[in-house]
Amino acid sequence: MHPSRWGDPARAASLPESARGLVEAVFGIDERPAATDVAVPPPALDEAVLDALRAAVGAEHVLLDDATRRLRTRGKSTPDLLRQRAGDLSDAPDAVVRPADHDQVAAVLALAVEHRLAVVPFGGGTSVTGGLVARREGYAGLVSLDLVRMKRLLAVDHTSMTATLEPGLRGPEAEALLAAEGLVLGHYPQSFEHATIGGFAATRSSGQSSAGYGRFDALVVGLRVATPRGELRLGSAPASAAGPDLRQLLLGSEGAFGVITEVTVRVRRLPAEKVYEGWAWPSFEAGAAAMRTLAQAGLLPTVLRLSDEHETAINLARPDAIGAAGASGCLMVVGHEGEPEPVAARRTAVASVLAGLGGTPLGEEPGRAWAHGRFDAPYLRDAMLDVGVLVETLETATFWSRVPQLYDAVRTALVGALGEPVLVLCHISHVYETGCSLYFTVAASGGDDALGRWQRAKAAASDAIAATGATITHHHAVGTDHKPWLPAEVGELGVAVLRAVKAELDPTGVLNPGVLV
């Protein structure tokens, strides 16, 4: 199994026959096996540095072997995957270092400053924006700071309904620890099975149930962060007017300001009931207007998603997704989680609004189909690359009044840059009173210059997003891929502020160099 592939090797697969036929009809099959048995460049660190790292975290937690370093090379963006598949392992870390706790993280950072090592904090490795591709020029070496040993539930406060988690916990691990306390975090990005608590915080992640539970940045009430200048402990109250909210400066800092070593989150009681159902809409516009009505009426369900006509049609080609009810137009998934009585009340109220606005209920089958496959799409991407088809996603958000303009601009940019045949699918998965996100999935043949083709398409889409005044990313962070568009969003002065904060917390620039700022 190629190390660039997503997730659990046992669940990786070649393209299912049903999908293969569709791909062949649209793009043609162009087998592109990944390069194998490529050697990782030898570690560049000298023994004295390695001994110091061993003294800090234990000898068995400084790993130099090829397999470990290969798996910590870059993340899961299309450029990351294509480079790795082509045998380019030039970004491999010299060592993978696994601290046990906050103090060991601090010790590694001190060594990094002393020996001028670039440090890339590593959680689930699922970045899709080049967040794990640190610059190594000018450094004595590059260390992957793997937080895999930091997996404790440090504290639970059942009265305040908060829990303090270590950053290395993957989504399901965190939920299992909380479930044993009768609690739930409720954060389910598509990367849920692999991504970690620290990564959720460092990238301002958002999940499929964030309409109900809140974005990750809204769930965080406290942070502990190790920086080369010392420790930050933030979060003295649910809300405060004691100056700017520094938590919001560390959330989204992508390992460039410090290493998040503890995250205190708001938790809820485990839901007794979960129900997901489908609704059909005559158009994307009508469905989006219904979502806006719900958000502005304070009637948001736990899950609320709407596929455009193109995405709905692709789903219709998979009979398990829509079922016999058969929908035309656009499919919406509406989910409610919680205690039976409020779930029933909210379900009735939401259904009444949706029916009144022209929605057609499709029952629970489409909702179940969505819930069943909700974490599977990334596996399909690897299988598509095997047959020469690029599949990538990008996302943005804007205010409601600009949604039609943003949708058209991004679609036009992608179709224009990639040329036919191309599939551009879109859904709305996060809604707010004032606006929503747009999440695009793109499929196109890769050809002989798949990386160049994708980079041009991504740039065209990003230019379109910036020209519309929308955000370059609603929940995938800046990384290295979005950096060129950050000044358009926060201004050169905003970027200068971020650089000033970095200079204060990481004066020698050892943390994730080149990422974010």
- For the bound state, the minimum distance from the C-beta of residue 229 to its own copies, rounded and expressed in Å, comes to 6
Question: Could you tell me the two tokens for 348?
Answer: 């009735």
Among 123, 141, 199, 435, binds its own copies (CB under 8 A): 435
434 binds its own copies (CB under 8 A): yes
Q: Which is nearer to its own copies, 77 or 162 (CB)?
A: 162
75 binds its own copies (CB under 8 A): no
Would you call 439 a catalytic residue per the annotation?
Answer: yes
Binders of its own copies among 401-420, rule CB under 8 A? 401-402
Tell me how long the chain is.
517
| Residue type (1 letter), 41 | P
- For the bound state, the minimum distance from the C-beta of residue 517 to its own copies, rounded and expressed in Å, comes to 8
Among 322, 470, 510, 511, binds its own copies (CB under 8 A): 470
For residue 26, the SS3 value is helix
Binders of its own copies among 477-496, rule CB under 8 A? 477-478, 482, 486, 489-491, 493-494, 496
**Measured distance CA(166)–CA(174) in Å, rounded:** 9
| Residue type (1 letter), 65 | D
Binders of its own copies among 207-246, rule CB under 8 A? 215, 217, 221, 227, 229-234, 236-246
Binders of its own copies among 277-316, rule CB under 8 A? 292, 296-298
Q: Which is nearer to its own copies, 78 or 203 (CB)?
A: 203
User: Is 207 annotated as a binding-site member?
Assistant: no
64 binds its own copies (CB under 8 A): no
- For the bound state, the minimum distance from the C-beta of residue 267 to its own copies, rounded and expressed in Å, comes to 9
463 binds its own copies (CB under 8 A): no
432 binds its own copies (CB under 8 A): yes
Contact pattern from residue 152 through residue 171 relative to its own copies, giving x for each residue in contact according to CB under 8 A and a dash for the rest: -----x-xxxx---------
User: Helix crossing, 403-418 with 284-296: angle to 10°?
Assistant: 140
- For the bound state, the minimum distance from the C-beta of residue 372 to its own copies, rounded and expressed in Å, comes to 27
Q: Are 291 and 436 in contact (CB under 8 A)?
A: yes
Strands (E), 309-450: 330-338, 360-363, 389-399, 422-428, 435-445
**Measured distance CA(336)–CA(303) in Å, rounded:** 7
Residues 6+ apart with CB under 8 A from 361: 277, 278, 279, 351, 354, 355
Task: Classify 374 in phi/psi space as left (phi over 0), alpha (psi -120 to 50) or beta.
Answer: alpha
User: Is 381 annotated as a binding-site member?
Assistant: yes
User: Is 209 annotated as a binding-site member?
Assistant: no
Among 106, 397, 444, 511, binds its own copies (CB under 8 A): 397
Task: List the beta bridge partners of residue 266.
Answer: 162
426 binds its own copies (CB under 8 A): no
Q: Are 444 and 421 in contact (CB under 8 A)?
A: yes
48 binds its own copies (CB under 8 A): no
C-alpha pair distances (Å), 302 with each of 66, 273, 350, 447: 43, 12, 11, 41
Of 76-84, 98-106, 361-369, 395-403, the window that binds its own copies (rule: CB under 8 A) is 395-403
Among 56, 82, 195, 250, binds its own copies (CB under 8 A): 250
Phi, psi of 313 (to 5 degrees): -65, -40
User: Is 341 annotated as a binding-site member?
Assistant: no
User: Is 87 annotated as a binding-site member?
Assistant: no
Binders of its own copies among 315-354, rule CB under 8 A? 342
Of 4-12, 32-40, 169-177, 503-511, the window that binds its own copies (rule: CB under 8 A) is 503-511
User: Is 257 annotated as a binding-site member?
Assistant: yes
- For the bound state, the minimum distance from the C-beta of residue 486 to its own copies, rounded and expressed in Å, comes to 6
User: Is 256 annotated as a binding-site member?
Assistant: yes
**Measured distance CA(308)–CA(291) in Å, rounded:** 13
**Measured distance CA(127)–CA(194) in Å, rounded:** 11
Q: What are 415-421's contacts with CB under 8 Å, separation 24+?
A: 416/460, 417/453, 417/456, 417/457, 417/459, 417/460, 417/461, 418/442, 418/444, 418/453, 418/457, 419/444, 421/26, 421/27, 421/445
Q: Where are the alpha helices (DSSP H) in 221-362?
A: 247-250, 284-296, 309-316, 319-322, 340-356
356 binds its own copies (CB under 8 A): no
The catalytic position among 139, 213, 432, 439 is 439
- For the bound state, the minimum distance from the C-beta of residue 155 to its own copies, rounded and expressed in Å, comes to 11
**Measured distance CA(132)–CA(120) in Å, rounded:** 7
The residues that are catalytic are: 439
Binding residues for FAD: 121-127, 203-206, 254-260
What residues are designated binding site?
121-127, 203-206, 254-260, 381
